[in-house]
C-alpha cells in the first residue's frame, strides 16, 4: 500500500486541496478545469443521444516542426509547453485528429472561460434573427433597473463590442479588488452568496469617456449580455443553449455553465464542453451559421461578426492591439486582421477557438496554463495556429 488515494496517485495532489481558493492555480487546475461542477453550482445542457466517436490520433503531425520567431519545435513539444489539455483540429469540416494530455481523458468537458462570451453572443445573434433582440436598443429597454449604473446610457451594441465606458479592471490576481468581489458574486471565489451577479453588475459605474469609443475588455459586460438575452427571450440561458444551439449544432456531449445564487448563468466565462464540440461551434461559424444542414444563426450576423463589423479605431485605443495590430472585435469574437481572415474566441489560462477561412481549418485548444494571461505565449499560440493551419 502506498498510503495515497487513487486521486492522489493519478493527479499528484489530494482532492481536498482543490477548493475555491485554489481551483484556478497550478497544478490543481489540471483537474478542476475539467470538473468545475464539483466546485461551482452548474446547469447541464444535454446533447442528443449517440455520444462521441473515438479519439483520432494526429499521428505523424505531432512530430512535424513548427517555426517560431525564437526557433523551431515539434507540434507535440509546443502542445506540452503551452500546457495543452485537449486539442481538436478540423479541415473542411472533417476531423484531422485529436490530442489529449494524460490527465484529460478523451471526451472530457473542460471550461472554456471567456470563449463563453463568444457562445453567448451566438445566442444574441439567433434571437436577433428571430426579431426578439435589437443590438441597437438601449440596455434599459430590456433591463430598466440598469438606469443609474454604467449601463444606464449604454446600448446593447456597446455591450456586445466591449465598448462600454466601464470603471472596472480585470485584476485577476488581486484578492481585494472589485474583480474579486465580482467573482464572489458568481460563486467562483470563497465568501460568495450574499450578493448576486445581477446585483453586483448594477453597482458598476462608468468612466467620463463616452461609450463606443474604446475597446475595453471587461467581463461583466458579457454577464450583462446573458441577462439581456434572457430578458429578450423570456428563457433561461441554459434553455436557449439547448434549444437554439446545442441540439441544432449536433453536439455529441453535454455541456454545462456555472450559475450564481439566483441561478444566473456565468455567460462571461462559465461554460464547459469537449474540444470536439467547441470545434463544431467554430465550424458552424466558418460555414456562415450552418451546421448539420440547418441554419443556426443568420449568415449576415456571422459575416458582420467575423469579417465586416467592429470598429478598428476602438480596437486601436484598447490594450490588446499588440496581439492583433490590424484586428477588430465584434459580437464577442476577435477578428485577427490577418490576410487569411482568421477569427477566434479566447479564454484565460489558454483557451482558444481559432478559425481560418482561407485554409478551412478550425482548431479548438483547451489548456491549464498557470497564469491567467501570458501575452508572450499568446503571440506564440497565434503563430502556432497559423503554421498548423497551413500544414494540415
- What is the spatial distance between Cα 190 and Cα 64, in angstroms, rounded to a whole number? 44
- What is the spatial distance between Cα 324 and Cα 221, in angstroms, rounded to a whole number? 21
Q: What is the DSSP letter of 174?
A: -
Query: What pairs with residue 182 in β-bridges?
Result: none
Annotation marks residue 368 as catalytic: no
Name residue, grid cell 492583433.
Answer: 324
Q: What are phi and psi of 45, to 5 degrees?
A: -120, 120
- Give how far Cα 52 sits from Cα of 16, 135, 252, 281, 389, Å: 31, 36, 5, 15, 24
What is the b/e burial string over 55-70, where b = at least 16 CB atoms within 10 angstroms of the residue's CB? beebeebeeeebeeee
| Cβ proximity of 229 and 237 under 8 Å | yes
Handedness of CA 11, 370, 104, 260 (dihedral sign): positive
Catalytic residue among 42, 114, 149, 233: 114
> Which residues, including other chains, have CB under 8 Å from residue 15's CB and lie 6 or more apart?
5, 7, 8
Nearest Cα to 85, choosing from 380, 392, 376, 365? Answer: 365
Q: What is the DSSP string of 282-293?
A: HHHHHTTSEETT
* Beta strands at 94-100 and 110-111: parallel, antiparallel or unpaired: unpaired
Question: Mind telling me the catalytic residues?
Answer: 114
Amino acid at each position: 500500500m502506498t498510503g495515497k488515494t487513487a486521486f492522489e496517485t493519478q493527479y499528484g495532489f489530494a482532492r481536498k486541496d482543490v477548493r475555491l481558493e485554489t481551483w484556478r492555480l497550478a497544478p490543481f487546475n489540471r483537474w478542476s478545469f475539467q470538473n468545475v461542477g464539483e466546485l461551482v453550482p452548474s446547469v447541464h445542457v444535454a446533447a442528443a443521444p449517440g455520444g462521441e466517436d473515438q479519439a483520432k490520433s494526429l499521428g505523424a503531425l505531432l512530430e512535424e516542426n513548427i517555426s517560431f520567431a525564437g526557433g523551431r519545435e515539434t507540434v507535440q513539444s509546443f502542445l506540452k509547453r503551452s500546457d495543452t489539455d485537449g486539442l481538436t483540429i478540423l479541415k473542411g469540416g472533417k476531423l484531422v485528429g485529436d490530442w489529449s494530455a494524460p490527465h484529460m481523458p478523451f471526451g472530457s468537458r473542460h471550461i472554456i472561460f471567456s470563449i463563453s462570451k463568444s457562445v453567448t453572443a451566438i445566442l444574441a445573434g439567433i434571437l436577433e434573427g428571430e426579431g426578439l433582440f435589437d443590438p441597437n436598443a438601449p440596455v434599459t429597454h430590456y433591463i430598466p433597473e440598469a438606469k443609474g449604473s454604467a449601463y444606464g446610457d449604454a446600448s446593447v451594441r456597446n455591450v456586445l463590442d466591449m465598448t462600454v465606458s466601464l470603471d472596472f479592471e480585470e485584476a485577476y490576481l488581486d484578492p481585494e479588488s472589485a474583480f474579486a468581489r465580482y467573482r464572489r458574486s458568481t460563486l467562483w471565489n470563497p465568501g460568495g452568496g450574499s450578493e448576486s451577479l445581477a446585483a453586483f453588475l448594477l453597482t458598476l459605474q462608468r468612466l467620463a469617456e463616452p461609450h463606443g469609443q474604446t475597446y475595453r475588455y471587461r467581463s461583466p459586460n458579457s454577464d450583462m449580455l446573458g441577462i439581456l438575452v434572457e430578458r429578450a427571450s423570456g428563457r433561461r440561458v441554459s434553455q436557449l443553449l439547448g434549444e437554439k444551439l446545442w441540439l441544432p449544432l449536433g453536439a455529441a456531449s453535454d455541456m454545462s455553465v456555472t450559475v450564481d445564487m439566483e441561478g444566473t448563468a456565468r455567460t462571461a466565462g462559465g461554460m464547459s464542453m469537449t474540444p470536439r464540440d467547441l470545434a463544431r461551434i467554430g465550424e458552424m461559424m466558418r460555414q456562415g451559421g450552418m451546421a448539420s444542414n440547418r441554419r443556426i444563426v443568420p449568415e449576415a450576423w456571422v459575416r458582420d461578426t467575423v469579417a465586416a463589423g467592429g470598429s478598428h479605431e476602438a480596437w486601436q485605443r484598447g490594450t490588446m492591439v499588440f496581439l492583433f495590430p490590424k484586428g477588430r472585435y465584434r459580437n464577442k469574437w476577435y477578428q485577427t486582421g490577418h490576410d487569411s481572415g482568421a477569427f477566434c474566441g479566447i479564454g484565460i489560462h489558454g483557451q482558444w477557438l481559432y478559425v481560418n477561412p482561407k485554409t478551412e481549418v478550425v482548431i479548438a485548444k483547451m489548456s491549464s496554463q498557470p497564469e491567467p494571461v501570458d501575452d508572450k505565449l499568446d503571440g506564440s499560440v497565434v503563430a502556432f495556429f497559423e503554421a498548423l493551419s497551413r500544414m494540415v
